[in-house]
Structure 1
Amino acid sequence: MKNLFKIAFLATGLFVATQSHAQSTVNKDAKAVGHKTSEIAAKGKAAVVDKKYKGKTGPKGQTIYIDKYSHYYYVNSKGHKYYCKKSELKDR
């Protein structure tokens, strides 16, 4: 009888550990999908609303946009806008 309880307890522990690992994997994947969706939406909006600066790129080769206030910015991989000075831009 004691062995039956030990086996049941071990099986329950393994089940709980497996479920928590699967949950963390799903959370990680969901976060990555959310970041990519945000990036695509922000770049799409920037391409429609703002002008592209064709002669320059960002610090790591990003596309530079000019907003209605003549500020320069690029969109990072999480969909956030990063404003930069004209002196920080690189030639293509």
Structure 2
Amino acid sequence: MKQIRMLLVVAAMAIATSAAAQQRVDTAVKKAGDKAASTAVKGVANVKDKVYKGKEAPDGSVVFIDNKDKKYYIDKKGKKIYLKPSQIRDKKD
């Protein structure tokens, strides 16, 4: 009986360790995917849209101007975030 109980404890510990390792892998993959998406969208924006020189977004990133004269920046996940005029600030050098 003690051997069965010990075997169950070891199996439970192995499953818990495996789940924690999988969560770390999932987190790393998600971060890598977000970085790739952000880089790709920024590359397209640099070619397609104009950079608003001397200005920055609330998080300090580059502000782009699209063909409809709307200002936006690209967040860490690669999503375009459109800005109100009050959110755009002068760039700090």
**What residue is the counterpart of 2:12 in the other structure?**
13
1:29 is aligned to: 28
The structural deviation recorded for 1:86 is 2.9
Equivalent residue for 2:63?
A: 64
- Rg larger in structure: 1
Identity %: 35
Q: Find the aligned partners of 2:20 and 2:14 in 1 and give their Cα distance.
A: 10
Other-structure match for 2:72:
73
Report the equivalent of 2:49. Answer: 50
Q: Structure 1 unaligned runs (5+)?
A: none
How big is the shift at 1:57? Answer: 1.3
User: Counterparts of 1:74 and 1:90 in 2: how far apart (Å)?
Assistant: 12
How many Å separate the matches in 2 of 1:91 and 1:34? 31
TM-aligned CA deviation for residue 84 of structure 1? 1.0
CA distance in structure 2 between the partners assigned to 1:64 and 1:14 by the alignment:
49
Separation in 2, partners of 1:20, 1:60 = 34
| Distance in 2 (alpha carbons) for counterparts of 1:60 and 1:31 | 21
The amino acid that maps onto 1:25 is: R
Kindly report structure 1 stretches of 4+ aligned residues shifted beyond 4 Å. none
Paired residue secondary structure (1:16): helix
